[in-house]
Amino acid sequence: MSPTGNNDNSAAVPGPAAAPAAPKRRRRRVLIVLAVLALLAGTGLTAGTYYVDSVPTPTDLELPESTTVYFADGRTPMAKLGAENRTIVPYEEMNDAAKQAIVATEDRTFWSNEGIDFTGVLRAAWSNVTGGQRQGASTITQQYARVAADLKGVSYSRKLREAVIAWKLDDKYSKEEILGFYLNTVPFGRGSYGIEAAAQAYFGKSVRRDAPPAKQLTTAEAMVLCAMVKQPEADPDDPEGQPGYDPARSPLARQNSIDRWNYIRDGMVKLGYLSADEAADLAYPDSVKPIDPAAGRSGLDRPTGLVVNHVLSELRRAEPFQGKPADYIRNGGFKIVTTIDKRVQDAADAAADIRRDSAPEAVRGQPKNWQAALVAVEPGTGRVLGYHGGSDGAGADYAGWYHDETGAARGFGQHPPGSSFKVYDLATAVQEKISVKQRFHSPEIKEFPASGRTKGSPAGPIRNAERAPCQPDCALWEATVASLNVTYFALTEQLGTAKVIDLATRAGVDSMWANEKGNPQPKRIELRGHSGQELARHFSTEVGIGQYGITVQDHANGMATFAAGGKRADAHFVRSVTKGDEKVLDEQLVQTDIGLDQEAVNQLNWTLRRVKAAELDNGWDSAGKTGTWQAGTSTTQNVHTWMVGYTGALAAAVWLGTVDGKPLRTSDGSYDVYGSTGAGPIWRQFMEQATAALKLDPDKYRFQEPAFPQEEETAPTATVAPKPTTAQPTPTPTVTRSTVPASPTAKPTLTLPPTPTRSPKPTPSRTPKPPRSVEPSLTPPPG
């Protein structure tokens, strides 16, 4: 492509002139050598030789460049990262406005010079020898050399290095390449480096040729930007007297900008880029955007700022990024495409941000300590389509946890799941060929000696929170709909804690928080990669009724596994990473069969479809389960509520609780907050809005009816309980209701992560006792 400049200041027509004659070129090189030798006289031959041998050229440089995070469409930006706001645009993809303006501004002989202002170098050398004033002005090539080599301060050694690098650059690269290097690296102020970042920061436009005409940087705007190069930022020692050339900074800065803009316009005419008439018609643009201190890092304060944390955490563990510096991804100029579907994310934020008017009426206008979290996962792929861990992307994450740049675990996403965890008991049961029509003895209260839950024990017997019409003998599906604790405690004993943990782990629950004697905070236990037998020593039979904390993200992954017919795909946030034309990383979609045959899946779906809170009003087949966890020893106050479930196309988990561990109390003073009345409305609104936005056909995702090989409902099953073992934790005393193991503000342990910035302070906690999950029956609706 032809250059946009000329080889002579007096040329009237843009474009390169004929190459200079060889003798003239040789004479210039001799002058350069003399200038360099003169400088060597002041710096020492040894140092000069070192600089010549070691100076970096552009191929040696890895320039910091902003990384952009996108939604799943690969076009809609989610956030921009990086200490420096830089977006590199190849020279041939830039429009001419910036190329012409920068030459007219900084180096009108650029297309004809040797890359070095050798008279300036000689002046610097003479000043060095005579002790005169230090010299400054440089060609564009020298300026690029200075920026690229990070040469700071005015010194003769710097001037020498600058000259040598420029000489090597001009010898090795074309003028077009050098101008491209310069335009992509020079600072323009406002934290923007390179012409593209500057165009966005000052005008909200692009320098790309392929941008829509209305979004392309104009000649007049390019002239404003190029004026900035002379002094990109205000002088910190005299910001009022020397404010630079940003017209939005002060009236003096604006006048500086106008004066230099006029100087550039004259240069554009002299170089033939503008005719005299075109220059006369050109007006100084008044469309410069106000100064935005966060222009280089945008989008991190929104809810999706928490998604970015998970994206970076995921990438740091990926092979291309392992062992790299902490800021490698942020400043690497990568294009990261996430799994987050903006349509689904919008629905998640609208429903789960309970401070918005778009949230369900049941949770709007409630006390400030109320908090909700929602995660949606695509069945079969594990792609996290929506993630709302809180409304502040720089605040606490109540939906999960992640590793920060130092490797520390962050987040407050673990909460006791209560009865919502019973889905994994149920899945284990149908996997073990226990029909959902099998009947269980389900009285109001029952002792379980093998698990230490007797009248004479400190923890006491297991009680149901509410009554169900089927009692005292209920089919498993009826006990599920009514959420009977006695039935599910008996089922967990019958199956064995290890099998329930195994199934939950295979489905998607990677972590669970266990209570340890002497430790006031629950400790995170890694489930994945360990057998249920190994893990059982950390958990008691109470695991079956949801005593131990899990994350909203893991719970959503488990629901996606059931929605995919028992095929697990790991929940993840990254679809692809590219840099320029290079594909750096691509998602690997792998499914793992968790061992549920089709009849087991059908019975699971059939049962969970009967939970009233899971019914959608949009014609989709849906399944789900509520969950509630009580506050302390109270029998009337709850602190955690859940709703989890799925259609064949989308799975989601919702938690609603408090940030300080206090009971959920409505604005009118009521404590009647359950899974069905708290998290439930959020889940239903989200599922209906998200499925509508995705525009999928519900008939393609219908559930199959189970065959029920043993059609006759069986008689009540006597619990065959395992004998107590030293591997199973011994329950500690409780009254009849659940104890909150820890405030949601407690640090999740890895060992536990430190408290993130701007997060609530942990509240004092007591040594946790093995609580009970409580759920009202379906009449009234399940909680």
| Res 54 pLDDT > 50 | no
Q: Look at 8-22, 116-130, 230-244, 749-763 and tell me which has the smallest mean pLDDT.
A: 749-763
| Res 160 pLDDT > 90 | no
Q: Which phi and psi (to 5°) does residue 542 adopt? A: -60, -10
Could you tell me if 402 and 410 are in contact, meaning their C-beta atoms sit under 8 angstroms apart? yes
Is residue 32 exposed (0-12), middle (13-18) or buried (19+ Cβ within 10 Å)? buried
Q: Residue 3 has what pLDDT? A: 44
Q: Residue 720 has what pLDDT? A: 44
78's enclosing H/E stretch is strand 77-81
Buried (b) or exposed (e) across 296-330, using 16+ Cβ within 10 A?
Answer: bbbbbebbbbbbbbbbbbbbbeeeebeeeeeebbb
607's enclosing H/E stretch is helix 598-608
| Res 191 pLDDT > 90 | no
Q: Look at 161-170, 219-228, 432-441, 606-615 and tell me which has the smallest mean pLDDT.
A: 161-170
Token couple for 581: 């034309």
| Res 437 pLDDT > 80 | yes
C-alpha 658, offset from chain centre: 24
Local confidence band at 27 (pLDDT 50, 70, 90 cut-offs):
low
| Res 47 pLDDT > 60 | no
Q: How many other CB atoms are found less than 10 A from the CB of residue 781?
A: 16
Could you tell me if 641 and 678 are in contact, meaning their C-beta atoms sit under 8 angstroms apart? yes
Q: Round to whole Å and give the CA distance between 582 and 575.
A: 15
| Res 46 pLDDT > 70 | no
Q: Residue 82 has what pLDDT? A: 83
Q: Report, as an integer, the average pLDDT of 662-691.
A: 96
Is residue 622 exposed (0-12), middle (13-18) or buried (19+ Cβ within 10 Å)? buried
Sheet strand arrangement including 67-70: 77-81, 67-70, 335-338, 574-579, 582-586
* 199-225 pLDDT tens trace: 999 999 999 999 999 999 999 999 999
Q: Round to whole Å and give the CA distance between 643 and 779.
A: 18
Token couple for 506: 């295979």
Higher pLDDT, 114 or 530: 530
Sheet strand arrangement including 85-86: 85-86, 192-193, 187-189
Q: Residue 34 has what pLDDT? A: 52
Bridge partners, 624 (sequence order):
645
Token couple for 779: 């009449």
* 104-139 pLDDT tens trace: 999 999 999 888 876 666 665 555 555 554 444 479
From the list 486, 513, 283, 237, the residue with the least C-alpha distance to 400 is 513
Q: Which bin fits 661, alpha (ψ -120 to 50), beta or left (φ > 0)?
A: left
From the list 126, 181, 645, the residue with the least C-alpha distance to 419 is 645
Could you tell me if 592 and 607 are in contact, meaning their C-beta atoms sit under 8 angstroms apart? no
Q: Residue 62 has what pLDDT? A: 66
Higher pLDDT, 215 or 518: 215
Q: Residue 23 has what pLDDT? A: 52
Whole-number percent of the chain with pLDDT over 70? 78
From the list 482, 480, 463, 420, the residue with the least C-alpha distance to 678 is 420
* 233-248 pLDDT tens trace: 999 889 999 999 999 9
* 65-104 pLDDT tens trace: 889 999 999 999 999 898 777 788 999 999 999 999 999 9
Q: Round to whole Å and give the CA distance between 727 and 729.
A: 7
Predicted TM-score (pTM) of this structure = 0.74
Is residue 584 exposed (0-12), middle (13-18) or buried (19+ Cβ within 10 Å)? middle
Buried (b) or exposed (e) across 165-184, using 16+ Cβ within 10 A?
Answer: bbbbbbeebebbebbbbbbb
Higher pLDDT, 30 or 410: 410
Q: Look at 487-496, 681-690, 762-771 and tell me which has the smallest mean pLDDT.
A: 762-771
Q: Residue 732 has what pLDDT? A: 37
Buried (b) or exposed (e) across 82-118, using 16+ Cβ within 10 A?
Answer: bebbbbbbebeebbebbbbbbbbbbbbbbbbbbbbbb
Local confidence band at 192 (pLDDT 50, 70, 90 cut-offs):
confident
Q: How many other CB atoms are found less than 10 A from the CB of residue 404?
A: 17
Q: Residue 17 has what pLDDT? A: 39
Q: Residue 119 has what pLDDT? A: 67
* 258-305 pLDDT tens trace: 999 999 999 999 999 999 999 999 999 999 999 876 555 678 889 999
Alpha helices in 149-281 (DSSP H): 156-172, 175-185, 195-203, 219-228, 251-270, 276-281
Q: Residue 291 has what pLDDT? A: 86
Higher pLDDT, 38 or 481: 481
**Residue type at position 53:** D
Higher pLDDT, 649 or 754: 649
Token couple for 751: 């060992």
Helix, strand, or coil (residue 99): helix
Local confidence band at 605 (pLDDT 50, 70, 90 cut-offs):
very high
From the list 462, 514, 512, the residue with the least C-alpha distance to 483 is 462
Q: Look at 11-15, 217-221, 388-392, 548-552 and tell me which has the smallest mean pLDDT.
A: 11-15
Q: Residue 643 has what pLDDT? A: 98
Higher pLDDT, 204 or 778: 204
Please provide the average confidence, as pLDDT, over all residues in the chain.
83
Question: DSSP labels for 650-684?
Answer: -EEEEEEEESSS-----TTS-----TTTTHHHHHH
Q: Where are the beta strands (DSSP E) in 506-615?
A: 511-514, 523-526, 550-551, 567-568, 574-579, 582-586, 592-593
Q: Which phi and psi (to 5°) does residue 376 adopt? A: -120, 135
Q: Residue 736 has what pLDDT? A: 29
What angle is formed at CA 636 by the lines to CA 633 and CA 637, rounded to 5 degrees? 75
Q: Residue 402 has what pLDDT? A: 96
Question: DSSP labels for 686-717?
Answer: HHHHHHHHHT--GGGGPPPPP--SS-SPPPPB
